[in-house]
Amino acid sequence: MVYKVSIDALKLTDFRNYPALSLELDERHVVLTGDNGSGKTNLMEAVSLLSPGRGLRRASYGDIARVDVPTGFSIFCALNGMEGSVDIGTGTVGGDEAQARRLRLNGTNAKTIDELLDHLRVLWLTPAMDGLFTGTSSDRRRFLDRLVLSLDAGHGKRASDYERAMRSRNKLLTEFRPDPVWLTGLERQMAELGIAMALARHEMLGLLSRLVEDRPRETLFPTAQLSISGFLDGSWHRPAFDLEEEFLDMLREGRYRDASAGRTLDGPHRADLLIRHQEKNMDAARCSTGEQKALLVGLVLAHARLVANITGHAPILLLDEIAAHLDEGRRAALFNLVDDIGGQAFMTGTDQAMFDSLGDRARFLNISNGHVSG
């Protein structure tokens, strides 16, 4: 059985173009309509910051705070979550982009932002992601790691610790005679963390692929066939210890090469997510723009189902301009698929009529210059 997670109240202070906003919601989906630039995506961005990281725009905190307001921003949410009802407060004290984001749960300071994952999972699909298949490998790795993080709360810390150790190794390699003991220690840390990261990625893709294969074929969206390439290819059937030792040897043998390059040339930070249109047996990058959009929507919805199945709680979905390029029949079918996942979804569009088939399943709000009505 999958339980619903829903936002019952949302309050913003000095967030983007919202000086102050207070919304009372219920378990229904939320449809935000209004002109471009009115603040629809800003409100969705606030919801995305109820998860670790910098949200769906990956913006600096200094850019998120309302212009000319030096005191930072705040987000409050009353949530019916994975551990019951909880009040969540997050934001910054100052507008400096280096300012750390703070988190309070039921009025108590949390140790880390990652504690949000104890209460909800937030997934999103935005127009900015449309170039995922033709963009850089770093964009696809970031997308992949967000998929993993929604299932494995420790993945984010492993990734950040790995990056920290790699930066220290890169810096150490610039010295005339780097300390071999310190260098070996950093490489050992990178090997342990890097293999753990890579294994988590492969495990998530395996679970997602099995879920897609086991479900009835859906005619609305094509099937995305996923794999990872660029790091220890073909080796992932072996024990983790053996993989760590192989990666450690790669790092040791690559010291002079990496020192010359000024960066580490082998590791999970060099891997790439490969995506194919299964029915057409074609790389996603070669598909038409419409096919790529359909692949991406199907992939995000399949991952949302996986999160719901694994955690027992449906994620909150943020679907920005999701209905813009679909005809009426496909929109209705899409909304049924979203509804079937079992969670609360926030959707945006310029025309409320595009969401009419949702009927009473959604709360309809109109956004105009940072003001909400409906």
Q: What is the pLDDT of residues 108-122, one digit of tens each?
A: 999 999 999 999 999
pLDDT given at position 130: 92
Number of independent structural domains in the chain: 1
pLDDT given at position 67: 81
Q: Determine, yes or no, domain membership for 28.
A: no
The CATH number for 196's domain is 1.20.1050.90
pLDDT value at 145 more than 80 = yes
Q: What is the mean pLDDT of residues 18-46?
A: 95
pLDDT value at 69 more than 90 = no
pLDDT per position as a tens digit, 51-68: 999 999 999 888 898 887
pLDDT given at position 66: 86
Q: Determine, yes or no, domain membership for 314.
A: no
Q: Determine, yes or no, domain membership for 311.
A: no
- CA dist 252 and 231 (Å) reads 16
Q: Determine, yes or no, domain membership for 64.
A: no
The percent of residues in the chain predicted with pLDDT above 90, rounded, is 82
Q: Tell me the whole-structure pTM to 2 decimals.
A: 0.93
* Of 133 and 220, the one with more pLDDT: 133
- CA dist 72 and 62 (Å) reads 7
pLDDT given at position 180: 93
Q: How far is CA 162 from CA 18, 192, 246, 256, in A?
A: 37, 9, 17, 20
Q: What is the mean pLDDT of residues 31-41?
A: 94
Domain membership of residue 159 as a residue range: 126-289
pLDDT given at position 50: 98
pLDDT band at 215 (very low <50, low <70, confident <90, very high): low
Q: Determine, yes or no, domain membership for 159.
A: yes
The values of phi and psi at residue 352, to 5°, are -60, -30
Q: What is the mean pLDDT of residues 305-328?
A: 93
pLDDT given at position 217: 60
Which residues does 373 contact at the CB level (< 8 Å), separation at least 6? 365, 366
pLDDT per position as a tens digit, 261-297: 999 999 999 999 999 999 999 999 999 988 998 899 9
Q: Determine, yes or no, domain membership for 94.
A: no
pLDDT per position as a tens digit, 71-114: 889 999 999 999 999 999 999 976 554 568 999 999 999 999 99
Q: Determine, yes or no, domain membership for 236.
A: yes
Q: What is the mean pLDDT of residues 32-50?
A: 95
pLDDT per position as a tens digit, 175-210: 988 999 999 999 999 999 999 999 999 999 999 988
Q: Determine, yes or no, domain membership for 167.
A: yes
